[in-house]
Amino acid sequence: MTFKQKLAKATSISAGKLPSSYQIVGDVLLIKLPKLKPQQKQKIGQVILQLLPYVRTVCEIKEVSGELREPTVSTIAGNGTATVHKENDVLYKIDVSKVMFSKGNLSERKRLLGKIKDGETIIDMFAGIGYFSLPIAKFTKAKEIISIEKNPTAYNFLTDNIALNKITNIIAIQGDCKIAARSFPAKADRILMGYFPGTEKFLGAALWMAKPGCVIHFHNIYPEKDLWKKPMSQIDEICSAFKKKYRIILRKKVKSFSPKKWHVVIDFTVS
């Protein structure tokens, strides 16, 4: 019996109204319940706590919005939205009601670790709570990671997580990466652009910070019908404006973002 079937049986709510998936961050479970009444949501929350004893709190997540990617979350069972999540031997302190955590990018984080060379200077332009920066610092021999984050709440978790994981080679900066870029001309061997949508608006700042031969990991969201013409035209236009030559290394679909829309990554070098 699937989790969805168990939930339907225990709550007497039609399986058609229940989601097939959920996300667990630390000991907090996040679930989407758009078709249900408040009383039904509370009932589901209580049943989940009984079915999954390692879960302390059940939250409904409605959306992630705004420039700072802030989640709209409400507690439907249990107590407390602050937790510590462990992934790939890295600890992430987080409050799921204040900051998003995307477990769907785990494969991309692991892929990146195999690409980094000893002694690299890496700039993480949208560091969040340290999704990419922390495992890079822990599992590679990068010289330094410059982690930039605009959201002050996420930045505070980033600095907490650097200390929690006993990391010594991350430089954390709170602020807009377009402004911070002015301090790092031609600094980076590798640049991570893990913000979307609208990542192309920040590509100029990345090019400013890129050494000759720098690898840029460009993430963005595109409708399926625009792959791969639109992202390639954006990269070409901005590189041309900065008089930078580039070479594509990889184009990859990371995961489905919504029906007929894809989160993609394009790796390319600039010279």
Per-residue pLDDT band at 21 (split at 50, 70, 90): confident
Per-residue pLDDT band at 20 (split at 50, 70, 90): confident
DSSP-derived 3-state class of residue 94: strand
Q: Which amino acid is at 53?
A: P
Q: Measured between alpha carbons, how far is 200 from 132 in angstroms, rounded to an integer?
A: 19
The pLDDT, as a whole number, for residue 66 is 64
Torsion sign over Cα 14, 18, 24, 29: negative
Q: Measured between alpha carbons, how far is 95 from 78 in angstroms, rounded to an integer?
A: 15
Q: Per-residue DSSP letters for 25-81?
A: ETTEEEE--TTS-HHHHHHHHHHHHHH-TT--EEEEEEEEETTTTEEEEEEEEES--
pLDDT tens digits for range 72-123 = 899 999 999 999 999 989 999 999 999 988 766 778 888 999 999 999 999 9
How far does CA 194 lie from the centroid of its chain? 7
Angle at 183 between CA 182 and CA 189, to 5 degrees: 95
Lowest mean pLDDT among 7-21, 27-41, 56-70, 198-212: 56-70
Q: Which residues sit opposite 123 in a β-bridge?
A: 146, 191
How many other C-beta atoms are found inside a 10 Å radius of the C-beta of residue 130?
A: 32
Q: Which residues are CB-contacts of 82 (< 8 A; sequence separation ≥ 6)?
A: 93, 94, 95
Q: Which residue has the tokens 């330094």?
A: 144
Per-residue pLDDT band at 65 (split at 50, 70, 90): low
Is the pLDDT confidence value at 67 over 90?
A: no
The pLDDT, as a whole number, for residue 68 is 61
What CATH class is the domain 3-80?
Answer: alpha beta
Is the pLDDT confidence value at 232 over 70?
A: yes
CA atoms within 13 A on the CB side of 38: 2
pLDDT tens digits for range 142-189 = 999 999 999 999 999 999 999 999 999 999 999 999 999 999 999 999
Span(s) in the chain for CATH 3.30.300.110: 3-80
Q: Which residues are CB-contacts of 187 (< 8 A; sequence separation ≥ 6)?
A: 121, 123, 146, 209, 211
CA dist 32 → 87, 103, 185 (Å): 22, 15, 43
| CATH assignment of 104-270, among 3.40.50.150, 3.40.718.10, 3.30.2130.10, 3.90.550.10 | 3.40.50.150
Strand order in the sheet with 170-174: 170-174, 144-149, 121-124, 188-193, 210-223, 261-270, 246-258
CB 59 within 8 A of CB 31: yes
Any idea how long the chain is? 271
Let me know if 19 is exposed, middle or buried by CB neighbors in 10 A (0-12, 13-18, 19+): middle
Span(s) in the chain for CATH 3.40.50.150: 104-270
pLDDT tens digits for range 189-230 = 999 998 788 999 999 999 999 999 999 999 999 999 999 999
Q: What percent of the chain has pLDDT over 70?
A: 97
CB 270 within 8 A of CB 245: yes
CB 203 within 8 A of CB 234: yes
Per-residue pLDDT band at 266 (split at 50, 70, 90): very high
pLDDT tens digits for range 119-141 = 999 999 999 999 999 999 999 99
The pLDDT, as a whole number, for residue 19 is 86
The pLDDT, as a whole number, for residue 104 is 60
CA dist 92 → 29, 139, 168, 219 (Å): 15, 15, 16, 22
How many other C-beta atoms are found inside a 10 Å radius of the C-beta of residue 81?
A: 21
Is the pLDDT confidence value at 22 over 80?
A: yes
Is the pLDDT confidence value at 64 over 80?
A: no
